[in-house]
Amino acid sequence: MSTTHEEIALAGPDGIPAVDLRDLIDAQLYMPFPFERNPHASEAAAGVDHWLSTWGLTDDPAVAAMISCTRPAELAAFNGPDMDSGLLQIAANQIAYQFVFDDRAEDIGRHSPGRLLPMLSESVAILRDGQPPTTPLGAALADLHRQVQERCTPAQAARWAWNSREYVHGLLYEAVAQAHPAPVESGLCRSIRSLIAGVEPFYPLCEAAQRCELAPEELHHPAMRRLSRLSADAAVWIPDLFSAVKEQRAGGMINLALAYRRTHRCSLPAAVTLAVRHINSTIREFEDLYGEVRPELSPSGIGYVEGMAGWIRGCYFWSRTVPRYADTLTAPAGL
């Protein structure tokens, strides 16, 4: 793939030059899934505030400000427009929890990956062994685990816990990469990003939203596993486009756009364009594969895949306007 400035068009299909980085992303990103929003979004937002307060997570003004800027219930509402209010509340609580957990892990891990071990070990003990929590963050996770177990089937709850442990383990990889003096190349960055995406823990909730549990042969079919990987990658790479300015200023390493910038030694707008191309190919592969296998899927299987597609769509429409990524509007699109 060539990366010369002459061959990277920083304009939309109509040829109108993009003014800022958000314009550039909007003009070039392929998004076949239309905007939708759950009607219970406001109720879920109030529920998130109450839940975080109950466990003391927003006692810290910095955490409260972060939640205000990230709008977790809005992300849940965009991702799961058809979820009932109860399931939407669990998803919104989980998104809020993961933002708090991820930011805290990043703050601790950037100084020394080893300092993350108590925090990560507590989470694994809660998710794997049902051990009692020892911190407010652990208590929130234990309560979230309880909510999932009460709403989901045992198999779905087990998948949720497994995927959540994978996410927890991934944060240690991120901390090691952040602490390593050598820059992380794009392939390794994508591998680590898939571990810390935190998207796949939500897929059992997508399954729980269906009329019945998916049959094992459908859930574990190679095509379904591939759809899961494609959707999770696309869903997390899209926010990387909008967070690139923020992450660049903070010295972040695990970001798709910044990885392209390091690899190709190009400007941020050029790197974003390269990242968009990669995301577009991922979304198109998801769309094509879904079209091929859809006739063979059960109604619950179709709803499950639609939930995956919802995460691609939701992460895009949320990232465009969330205050957390407002820096995108201040970054020029020019080379």
For 141-171, write each residue's pLDDT tens digit: 999 999 999 999 999 999 999 999 999 999 9
Q: What pLDDT is recorded for position 322?
A: 95
Q: How many whole angstroms separate alpha carbon 29 and alpha carbon 120?
A: 35
- Tell me which amino acid residue 270 is: A
User: What's the token pair of residue 157?
Assistant: 């709850």
Q: What pLDDT is recorded for position 239?
A: 95
The reply to whether the predicted model has a pTM over 0.95 is no
Q: How many whole angstroms separate alpha carbon 36 and alpha carbon 252?
A: 31
Q: Where are the alpha helices (DSSP H) in the chain?
A: 21-28, 41-54, 61-70, 72-79, 85-109, 117-129, 136-151, 154-179, 186-196, 203-208, 216-219, 222-250, 256-264, 268-293, 299-321
Instruction: Please answer whether residues 196 and 120 qualify as being in contact, where contact means their C-beta atoms are separated by less than 8 angstroms.
Output: no
In the chain, the N- to C-terminal Cα span, in Å, equals 18
User: What's the token pair of residue 43?
Assistant: 């109720």
**pLDDT-flagged residues of the chain (< 70):** 1-18, 181, 333-335
**CATH, domain range 5-330:** 1.10.600.10
Instruction: Please answer whether residues 309 and 61 qualify as being in contact, where contact means their C-beta atoms are separated by less than 8 angstroms.
Output: no
